[in-house]
Structures are given as C-alpha cells and as structure tokens.
Amino acid sequence: MERHFYSVELGNVPHWLLATPTRYSGEAFDEPWMFVDGRTLPDPGPLKAQVAHPGTKRDFVFSSIEETPTVSEAVASVFKTLAPGDVQLFPVSIEGDADPFFVVNATKVIDCIDEARCREVHHYDKDDPSPTYPGEYNWIYGLRIDPSKTEGAQVFRLKKFKVAFIVSEDVKNALEAVGNLGVSFERVTGLPPT
C-alpha cells in the first residue's frame, strides 16, 4: 500500500501573521532562513517573534517572510510524538501572547521529487544572478513525490525545493485533529489532479 504525503501550505483562512523569529534580544540571525533549510541546528537559545499582522490566532502558521513553521504546544506534541527523529522544536515567545509556541525545524532533506508526474516545473535559469541555487527548482505546480524514496521519514524538506514542508498522512491526520490550523494540506503522492 502506497504511503501518502502532503505539502503543508499557508491556509486560506483568517489568521495572524508572525514575523521571522529572532533571538530573544531582538537581534536577527545571520541566516534567518535557517529554520527552513532542512538541517539540524545547534540550539539557538531563547527565541521571540512579533505579530507582523494581527488576526485570528492559529495553532500552526508560517512566518511572513522565510515561512518558518510556528506551532502551538498541542501541534508541537504531534510532531514530538509522530516524528521525533525528523524535527527539532525550539520554544519561541510570541509578543503579546502568553501561550507557549515552538518553531518546527524539519531536519531531513530527501531527494524524492517525481518531476515526470509534476504538472509543471520551473528551474532557476542558468544565468540567474544568484549562484546559490544551481540545479534547484524555482517553482513546481502540481508537485508529486515518489513515496518509495522517503526513507521512512514522517516530516521533511525536498532536495532542490526546500520551500516545501512535507508531512506523512499520519502527521496530517493528527494535526487536523488538533484543529484551529492556519495551514492547508495538498497531497503530493498518487496521480496528479486533472
């Protein structure tokens, strides 16, 4: 039986927008994108995030610029229980909110994009002014992955397309059971929609 996986994306529901987490002092990190880079990180110490745009408080959102996954304690518990070897959870204080939140850092990057089954792929041009993306995808429409190459992971980023935050069906179902999410789930396995 084929395992199904889902890309987690910002949902089309009212939600607050959080700024990219910083050190508790307010100092930005040298690599503010480090929480979406798919690598194990040293403990960054106390974090904080400001509300970039007020709105409905949600248990799972992405920050407004680097799209850092930020989750409530209930959602963090799902990741801790179902994907302990695939993520790091870093406590983050949300300005003006007393509830505990966590940055979710997916630590695995897996090479499993099934380009032939994707609806449309766009690579960075060879003459792109940024040499940091050689061979990577600029964007993918109708993303599809090969579940046989996921190495048993429950949560991961994609090689050459790290913007995608991928979760297994078990993780998706547990997150939906928590509810109050500011994200949606797009299936990335099986036949693409017509």
Predicted confidence at residue 166, as pLDDT, reads 98
Predicted confidence at residue 134, as pLDDT, reads 64
**Using 50, 70 and 90 to split pLDDT, how confident is the model at 124?**
confident
Q: Which of 24-28, 143-147, 173-177 has the lowest mean pLDDT?
A: 24-28
Q: Which of 62-66, 82-86, 173-177 has the lowest mean pLDDT?
A: 62-66
Predicted confidence at residue 34, as pLDDT, reads 94
Instruction: Quote the mean pLDDT of the chain.
Output: 92
pLDDT > 80? residue 131: no
pLDDT > 70? residue 193: no
- Mean pLDDT (whole number) for 98-117: 96
Predicted confidence at residue 190, as pLDDT, reads 85
pLDDT > 70? residue 194: no
pTM attached to this predicted model = 0.93
- Mean pLDDT (whole number) for 90-112: 97
- Mean pLDDT (whole number) for 157-178: 96
- SS3 string, the chain, reads CCCCEEEEEECCCCCCEECCCEECCCCCCCCCCHHHCCCCCCCCCCEEECEEECCCCCCEEECCCCCCEEEEHHHHHHHHHHCCCCEEEEEEEECCCCCCEEEEEECCEECCECHHHCCEEEECCCCCCCCCCCCCEEEEECCCECHHHCCCCCEEEECCEEEEEEEEHHHHHHHHHHCCCCEEEEECCCCCCC
